[in-house]
Each structure stands twice: as C-alpha cells, then as structure tokens.
Amino acid sequence: MALTRRKTKVPKVLPAPPKAKEDRHFVTALARGLEVLGCFRSGDKLLGNIEIARRCGLPKSTVSRLTYTLTRIGYLHYDEDSGKYRLGTATLALGSKMLARLDVRQLARPLMQDLADFSGAAVSLGTRDRLSMIYVEHCRSQSAITISLDVGSRIPLATTAMGRAYLAATSDGERHELMDRIRELDEFAWPKIREGIEAGMKEYHELGCCCSFGAWQKDVNAIAVAFRPGPGMPPMSINCGGPAFTLSPEFLMNEARPRLIELVRRIEESLGSA
C-alpha cells in the first residue's frame, strides 16, 4: 500500500556550474542544452518552452533554440497537439546504457530487498545529480506503507539522509563547493540547512550513518550510508526509510542501522572497493 505524497520539492531553477565563465574549456551552449534535458523530472510528461525557461533560469528565446536543436537530434520529441516537448528516444538510450553499466545495482538489489522485508521500509540506492539525489534502484516489502518514490525519483541533497551521507563521504573540495551552491539557492534557509549538514557529518563519523528524522518532510524518517562503487568514482548512498508513524527513530537506529551498515560493507567487499 503506497502512502500518497505531495510532489517532491526540488530547486525551481537549476544552478549553473560555479565559475563556468572563468573556465576557457567550458562550453556554455553544451551545458545549457544538458540543463534543458536535466530539468525534466520524474513524473513530467510534457514541458513547454516557458516552463523549461523557468526551471533552467534561461531566456525563452535561448530555450526555443535549444529545444529545436535537441528535437532535431532526437533528445526531445515535439508534441504538436500540446505544443510541448517530451524526452526523446536518444535520452532513453543514454540512460539505459548508464544503468546497464552500474553493476552495483545487481549486487545491491537482493541485499536491499532483504533489509526492506525485515524493516518494512523502503530501501533505495541513489547517486547525486546537481543538488539532488536520484534513485537508481528501489526496493520495498510487500507489506510496507511507503512514500511513493521509485527509480528515477529525485530528493534534495541537503535535507535528506541519502544526500547528507553523500556529502559526508565526498571530498572536502566537492562538499564545500556544493554547500556554496546550496547556500546561494536559499540564503534565508541556509543557517538551518548548514546546521543539519554539519550534524549529519558528526553522525556519520560517530554512528556510521546519517539521519533525517523529519528534516526533509516532517512525517518521513530515514537513515543512510554512503560508499564509493569503485576507485575514482563518486559516492553513492543507500537509505532506509518511510513514514514516521511506522518507522521510529529508535527502530531505525537500533534495528535497521546495523543491517544497513553491514549491507554496504558486503557491497564494498563484492566490488573490491572497501
């Protein structure tokens, strides 16, 4: 049984990579085209140029040229009835190839399913995309009452257990850069967000996981552990969570946490990345 949730909050405007103008190797047109593709979220079927422009923070005239070009090469498809765009088959091919290369999904899935069945929670594997974490694998028990997220769903980087675990596991340089971008997105909320991230860092070193008990949404509890799937690869995170009325902080910390830490240890051992 799935608990109906409101739409996941994600930044309305996708932040541009920092200091792009100062890097002579940076191709602005390419970056903008990828931003257009990246602004399509899980659940979006069709988007018009005005909505794309708002999400990307770009002029509508620029977006019109980008969507035209992306349509010509198959990354977008133009729907004549609505005058809007959907993702084209070329993006599907790219995504399928990327997921096929993630051997960690095949290794993690049976272990994640075991934890989901034990805890009655949802257990998800995610990787970072800009200031969000995106699910690349998702397991739930048959009896679980969970939030309605699945593969392809996005959740915030700064306020979720999965995102905070990523921040705790990444390099100091990347963490500081990401925190600067999070601050620029919402200066008013930043002090509280920073406090949560810093608490997550402390939790990760002391407890082996990051927690989010009502920090993202007041009725959602979760814990998460991050790991590197291979040398030189960015971290990934696995979370275990769900509605607060079925998953108390005490259960997650005392019962689920040791199993989640062991799950990640076994994945690292299988990948040879421990």
Query: What is the average pLDDT value for the chain, to the nearest integer?
Result: 87
pLDDT for res 159: 95
Q: Residue 213 above 80 pLDDT?
A: yes
Q: Which two tokens stand for residue 152?
A: 């392809």
Query: Is this model's pTM higher than 0.85 or not?
Result: no
d(CA 131, CA 181) in angstroms, rounded, equals 8
22 vs 30, residue with greater confidence: 30
Q: Residue 14 above 60 pLDDT?
A: no
pLDDT single digits (tens) 94-136: 765 566 556 788 889 999 999 999 999 999 999 998 899 999 9
Residue 11 pLDDT level (bands cut at 50, 70, 90): very low
Mean pLDDT within 221-227: 97
User: If one looks up domain 102-271 in CATH, what number appears?
Assistant: 3.30.450.40
Does 9-94 carry CATH code 1.10.10.10?
yes
